[in-house]
């Protein structure tokens, strides 16, 4: 098992680094204007949206309620720590009582 | 050539802006360290994995595959699939990295995580593009906290109260949700975002074990839709 673990650590470490480097070199080759640039500009938003969608699918009603509240607080305050605190408190509170 | 004082203040500012994400990552790191040592990882192995892979979900999935007896190759492929989205992040870090010496590029991409998107967004809200040193300061702090929290989890390995009881497992989800209003650029984002979310949802329903590929496909589909639309 311990050899297996080391190979996994090294293999996944190397793969992860190759992925990180690959993204930068990929972006170097993409055009700076037009459709490619529009797509690249939209990428961070789409990625975070995809992550949130995945997390919400995995969650239940408590997570949906807390997620909605965190979203409203973030839209209102634009403050990351406060929004995080709101979401975490709602989850903790609801898990306590529901 | 930047004055050293500017470099230093950018690094510090990046580290400061990373704090909320670092806090969220710390609970995740402790959880990973705990699970890893319970699954037979030595202290050094847990530490090395956090330092080299630097991606919580990828590490957890690889760990899960290994303990399920799926083998080294399956564990690497599953973990790499989840980290594949970082390709999109280093791609969007292009302007901060380009024209830097090779060793700075090598370091900069190593420190790229989902939280880098948050940093770029924070800088943008302030009316500036995220600089190289700003991203480096934030990334370095996150790596430090990530490795340290993994070690804590690996050492304690027992007797830690369940983080879910305090809602701490939701901290990372809340961070991503809180990023959305800042990332929203207007109505033209609506359709790409719906496509991104819808693609992930559909993919995960069809292939529940391939979430990493679903993420990648969802984000790319959304970006393609945005790229092809003309109402710029």
Asked, for residue A63, whether it belongs to a domain, the answer is: yes
Mutate to test the interface with A, among B174, B175, B190, B212 (most CBs of A within 10 A): B174
Determine contact, residues A24/B90, Cβ cutoff 8 Å: yes
- The set of residues, in sequence order, having a beta carbon less than 8 Å from that of B216 and lying 6+ positions away, is B81, B84, B85, B87, B88
Asked, for residue A88, whether it belongs to a domain, the answer is: yes
Q: What are the CB-based long-range contacts (under 8 Å, 24+) for B12-16? A: B12/B137, B13/B134, B13/B137, B14/B119, B14/B130, B14/B133, B14/B134, B14/B135, B14/B136, B14/B137, B14/B138, B14/B139, B14/B141, B15/B137, B15/B138, B15/B140, B15/B141
Asked, for residue A28, whether it belongs to a domain, the answer is: no
Restricting to A residues 45-64, those with a Cβ less than 8 Å away from any Cβ of B are 45-55, 57, 59, 63
Domain extent at residue A88: 48-98
Query: Mean pLDDT across chain B, nearest whole number?
Result: 90
pLDDT in tens, B153-204: 998 866 667 777 788 788 888 988 988 998 898 999 999 999 999 999 999 9
Asked, for residue A10, whether it belongs to a domain, the answer is: no
Asked, for residue A6, whether it belongs to a domain, the answer is: no
Lowest mean pLDDT among A90-94, B49-53, B68-72: B68-72
Asked, for residue A72, whether it belongs to a domain, the answer is: yes
What pLDDT, on a 0 to 100 scale, did the predictor assign at position B70? 83
Q: Closest residue of B to A4, CA-based? A: B72
What pLDDT, on a 0 to 100 scale, did the predictor assign at position B166? 80
Asked, for residue A66, whether it belongs to a domain, the answer is: yes
Q: What is the mean pLDDT of residues B6-14?
A: 95
CB–CB of A40 and B91 under 8 A? yes
> pLDDT band at residue B148, thresholds of 50, 70 and 90?
very high
Q: Which residues in B lie closer than 8 A to residue A44 (C-beta atoms)?
A: 88-89, 92, 117, 120-121, 183
Asked, for residue A32, whether it belongs to a domain, the answer is: no
Mutate to test the interface with B, among A48, A79, A90 (most CBs of B within 10 A): A48
pLDDT in tens, B216-228: 899 999 999 999 9
Question: Per residue of chain A (98 residues), what is the pLDDT tens digit?
Answer: 789 999 999 999 999 999 999 999 999 998 888 898 899 889 889 999 999 999 999 899 999 999 999 999 999 998 888 998 999 999 999 998 87
Determine contact, residues B19/A82, Cβ cutoff 8 Å: no
CB–CB of B58 and A8 under 8 A? no
Query: What is the domain count for chain A?
Result: 1
Q: Write the residue in B92, B173, B214 that is nearest to A55 by C-beta.
A: B173
Q: Write the residue in B62, B184, B224 that is nearest to A39 by C-beta.
A: B224
**DSSP collapsed to 3 states, chain A:** CHHHHHHHHHHHHHHHHHHHHHHHHHHHHCCCCHHHHHHHHHHHHHHHHHHHHHHHHHCCHHHHHHHHHHHHHHHHHCCHHHHHHHHHHHHHHHHHHC
């Amino acid at each position: 098992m311990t050899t297996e673990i080391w190979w996994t650590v090294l293999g996944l470490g190397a793969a992860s680094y190759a992925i990180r480097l690959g993204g930068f070199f990929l972006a170097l080759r993409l055009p700076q204007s037009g459709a490619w640039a529009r797509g690249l500009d939209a990428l961070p938003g789409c990625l975070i949206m995809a992550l949130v969608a995945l997390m919400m699918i995995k969650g239940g009603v408590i997570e949906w309620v807390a997620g909605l509240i965190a979203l409203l607080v973030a839209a209102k305050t634009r403050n990351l720590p406060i929004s995080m605190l709101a979401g975490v408190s709602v989850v903790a509170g609801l898990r306590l009582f529901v | 050539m930047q004055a050293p004082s500017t470099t230093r203040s950018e690094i510090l500012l990046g580290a400061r802006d990373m704090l909320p994400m670092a806090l969220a990552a710390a609970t995740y790191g402790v959880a990973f360290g705990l699970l890893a040592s319970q699954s037979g990882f030595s202290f050094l192995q847990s530490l090395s994995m956090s330092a080299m892979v630097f991606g919580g979900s990828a590490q957890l999935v690889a760990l899960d595959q290994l303990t399920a007896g799926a083998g080294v190759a399956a564990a690497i492929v599953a973990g790499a699939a989840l980290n594949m989205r970082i390709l999109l992040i280093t791609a969007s870090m292009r302007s901060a990295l380009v024209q830097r010496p090779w060793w700075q590029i090598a370091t900069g991409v190593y420190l790229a995580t989902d939280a880098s998107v948050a940093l770029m967004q924070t800088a943008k809200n302030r009316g500036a593009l995220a600089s190289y040193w700003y991203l480096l300061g934030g990334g370095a702090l996150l790596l430090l906290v990530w490795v340290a929290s993994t070690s804590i989890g690996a050492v304690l390995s027992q007797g830690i109260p369940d983080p879910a009881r305090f809602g701490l497992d939701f901290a990372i989800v809340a961070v991503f949700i809180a990023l959305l209003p800042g990332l929203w650029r207007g109505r033209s984002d609506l359709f790409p975002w719906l496509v991104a979310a819808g693609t992930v949802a559909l993919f995960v329903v069809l292939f529940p074990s391939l979430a990493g590929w679903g993420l990648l496909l969802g984000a790319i589909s959304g970006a393609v839709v945005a790229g092809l639309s003309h109402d710029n």
